[in-house]
């Protein structure tokens, strides 16, 4: 009787061992056969034993990002607008900017903070600051802000004079609210464009690096992580997203106005004290002018720089198409010996001067070529 019990226990233990050890293996083998009779191989993954090394190009991308990111900020501007029923409605806009110094000066685009009654700045480590406006330059689409904080990381500014088409560039900003986004491309061209206020931006940097809404005011960087421009515009053809054609204001333009913004809160813009009309070869020939190009003085502001230097405006009413013009004024062809072919040339030269500087003006009065010295005045919102 006792022997039977022992045998029964042995059989039960042996059966349990067989079921748990061998039956799943047999079932697994059967499961490897699908309904079509095709066998399935077990899944075998090949994994790297170590992280792959970055190539030289990737290492440079990473270095640029790590260097510049702590200096790039997200800017949120809040303003009040009116709805259809003339009720006040809060409106919020976003853009980018970058820290210029440890004192907390931040550079961005004017259109990012235009009409804002409250501006906040968030750094890459998610610290939030209230910002105040130090000064604005609407014509160049620049704004200088101020925040107060500890351990702020300023950018390094490059020289944008000798930029070359084909040069590698990087854009870091806040496109569509996606903080800390970096894109890469090249300089596609250096050209003059019209800014948001229809004012000329000379030597604007065209790039195919993706620039989208929210990138405005952020830095355009060279391969050393130095700022060469301020991202400001995209050619969208009606679609507000990157089309591979973006534009940045050259950083040297910003350098030229930062002193005035810090000191005066505005840009002290030099002026000749004239209104003028750009003249090309065809129009010059029709008017019988002595030179094929230049700017024709239409009017001289009484008591202004040109008036004091003896320049004359036009006195004969005429029409250029449907546009009324004045003939008979002086034709300016050079400033400080540099040829003037249109108002853009004149604006470029004015941007390099301050009110009170003396320049030489070469012009034609009729067929007579003259040169006078002129002390530049100060204008508001104009370059001539």
DSSP for 134-158 reads EEEETTTTEEEEE---SS-----B-
- The question of whether 22 is a catalytic residue gets the answer no
pLDDT at 112: 93
Overall residue count recorded for the chain in this entry: 384
- The question of whether 31 is a catalytic residue gets the answer no
Cross-strand pairs, 78: 92, 118
pLDDT at 219: 97
Q: What are the pLDDT digits (tens) for 50-65?
A: 777 889 999 999 999 9
pLDDT at 383: 45
3-state secondary structure of 266: coil
Name the catalytic one among 77, 96, 216, 276: 216
pLDDT band at 83 (very low <50, low <70, confident <90, very high): low
Please list, in sequence order, all residues whose beta carbon lies within 8 angstroms of the beta carbon of residue 233, skipping any fewer than 6 positions away: 193, 195, 196, 204, 246, 247
Q: What is the mean pLDDT of residues 224-242?
A: 80
Total-model pTM: 0.71
Q: Is the pLDDT of residue 43 over 70?
A: yes
Q: Is the pLDDT of residue 155 over 90?
A: yes
pLDDT band at 22 (very low <50, low <70, confident <90, very high): low
Q: What is the mean pLDDT of residues 132-150?
A: 93
Q: What is the mean pLDDT of residues 373-382?
A: 80
Name the catalytic one among 77, 105, 111, 188: 111
Q: Is the pLDDT of residue 105 over 60?
A: yes
Q: What phi and psi, each to the nearest 5 degrees, are found at residue 179?
A: -60, 145
Name the catalytic one among 137, 141, 208, 345: 141
- The question of whether 111 is a catalytic residue gets the answer yes
Please list, in sequence order, all residues whose beta carbon lies within 8 angstroms of the beta carbon of residue 31, skipping any fewer than 6 positions away: none
Q: Yes or no: say if 203 and 250 are a contact pair by the CB < 8 Å rule.
A: yes
Q: Is the pLDDT of residue 120 over 90?
A: yes
- Where residue 356 falls (left for φ over 0; alpha for ψ -120 to 50; beta otherwise) is left
pLDDT at 368: 95
Q: Which of 68-77, 179-188, 343-352, 371-380 has the lowest mean pLDDT?
A: 343-352
């Amino acid at each position: 009787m006792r022997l039977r019990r022992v045998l029964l226990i042995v059989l039960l233990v042996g059966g349990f061992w067989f079921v748990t050890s061998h039956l799943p293996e047999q079932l697994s083998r059967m499961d490897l056969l699908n309904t079509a009779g095709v066998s399935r191989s077990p899944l075998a993954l090949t994994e790297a034993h170590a992280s792959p090394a970055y190539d030289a190009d990737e290492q440079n991308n990473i270095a640029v990002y790590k260097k510049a990111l702590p200096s790039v900020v997200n800017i949120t501007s809040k303003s009040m607008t009116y709805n259809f029923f003339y009720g006040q409605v809060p409106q919020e806009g976003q853009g980018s900017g970058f820290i210029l110094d440890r004192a907390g000066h931040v550079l961005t685009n004017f259109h990012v903070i235009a009409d804002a009654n409250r501006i906040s700045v968030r750094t890459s480590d998610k610290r939030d600051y209230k910002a105040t406006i130090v000064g604005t330059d609407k014509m160049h689409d620049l704004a200088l802000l101020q925040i107060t904080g500890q351990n702020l990381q300023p950018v390094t500014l490059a020289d944008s004079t000798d930029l070359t088409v084909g040069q590698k560039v990087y854009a870091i900003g806040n496109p569509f609210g996606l903080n800390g986004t970096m894109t890469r491309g090249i300089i596609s061209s250096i050209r003059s464009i019209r800014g948001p206020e229809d004012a000329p931006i000379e030597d604007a940097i065209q790039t195919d690096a993706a620039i989208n809404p929210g990138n405005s005011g952020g830095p355009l960087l060279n391969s050393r992580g130095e700022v060469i421009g301020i991202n400001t515009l995209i050619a969208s053809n009606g679609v507000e997203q990157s089309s591979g054609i973006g534009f940045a204001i050259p950083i040297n333009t910003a350098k030229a106005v930062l002193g005035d913004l810090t000191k005066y809160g505005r840009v002290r813009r030099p002026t000749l004290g004239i209104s003028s009309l750009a003249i090309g070869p065809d129009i010059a020939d029709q008017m019988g002018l002595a030179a094929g190009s230049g700017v024709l003085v239409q009017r001289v502001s009484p008591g202004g720089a040109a008036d004091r230097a003896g320049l004359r405006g036009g006195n004969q009413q005429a029409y250029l198409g449907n546009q009324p013009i004045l003939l008979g004024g002086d034709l300016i062809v050079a400033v400080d010996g540099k040829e003037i072919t249109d108002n853009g040339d004149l604006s470029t030269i004015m941007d390099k001067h301050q009110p009170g500087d003396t320049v030489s003006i070469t012009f034609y009065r009729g067929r007579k070529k003259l040169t006078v010295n002129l002390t530049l005045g100060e204008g508001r919102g104009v370059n001539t």
